[in-house]
Amino acid sequence: MNKSDILKAQSPAALAEEYIVKSIWSNRFPVGSELPAERDLADIIGVTRTTLREVLQRLARDGWLNIQHGKATRVNDIWETAGPNIIGTLISLDSSITPIVINNVVSLRTRMAEYYIPEAIKLDAEKSASIFDNLANLEDTAEFFAEFDYNLYRKFTFVADKPVYGLILNSFRDLYHQVASLFFSDPVARKLTLDFYQGLKMACEASDYQKASEFMVNNRHNSTKIWAQMLSNFPNNFFE
């Protein structure tokens, strides 16, 4: 890591965070290793110990580090300790993992929904159908589709009495919107998804959770084909 890369940061705290995160990712500070003493690390980065301490605490909350009173700060394996909130950071560190991240996010959302949306219809078909009240007003743009899609899947979690699933969606809301906006930039994707929404709405109105499951599986197959084409020509700077 050279100095010019580090100086892209806009504040002492951001500079320190960028230095430590990039050092962990590049194995300068390998998983399981101890960070240098606070005084030494602050001198290396060029920030105060107070600023460094605040950054270390934040990185520990995000899962990058393990801080224990009276012991050296250790580097965690983020794949075991971190949450979805660091996905954006990982992509900025290595854009080559973007297709994997997108596939994982889409798969997680879809597979969860294939379970809880039929459950929602079984529990309260009328309330499930009401989620589509504004469908007729959905504008044919990527941004409107992305927002509608996020809200639809999130609202269903509460009808299904699965609020933790709603929290999971919340945890990567920004990424969800970015990915969905890319997907819905394709008019074919918007048309297929609109057909899916309309079919799912009819299933809710008919209290037919099994039909809803069929619509969801078909939508997954259709979406997978579109994603395969998009990811083969994915722009490296999409998340910048």
32-59 pLDDT per residue, tens: 999 999 999 999 999 999 999 999 999 9
Alpha-carbon span 25 to 90, nearest angstrom:
9
Neighbour tally for 29: CB within 10 Å: 23
Count of other CB atoms within 10 angstroms of residue 104: 13
Residue 228 CB contacts under 8 Å (≥ 6 apart), including other chains: none
Low-confidence ranges of the chain (pLDDT < 70): 1-10, 234-240
- Is there a contact between 114 and 214 (Cβ–Cβ < 8 Å)? no
pLDDT of residue 2: 47
Bridge partner residues of 74 (DSSP) = 34, 66
pTM of the complete model = 0.75
Which sign, positive or negative, has the C-alpha torsion 36, 82, 51, 20?
positive
Cα–Cα distances (Å) from 41 to 44, 49, 132, in that order, read 5, 8, 54
How many other CB atoms are there within 10 angstroms of residue 146's CB atom?
20
Q: Which domains does the chain possess?
A: 3-82 (1.10.10.10), 88-232 (1.20.120.530)
CA distances from 87 to 2, 80, 93, 125, 174 (A): 24, 13, 10, 35, 10
Alpha-carbon torsion (152, 153, 155, 156), positive or negative: positive
pLDDT of residue 236: 59
The 10s digit of each residue's pLDDT in 221-233 is 999 899 888 877 7
Alpha carbon distances (Å) from 149 to 37, 101, 138, 145, 188? 47, 19, 10, 6, 16
Conformational region of residue 48, where left means phi above 0, alpha means psi within -120 to 50, and beta covers everything else: beta
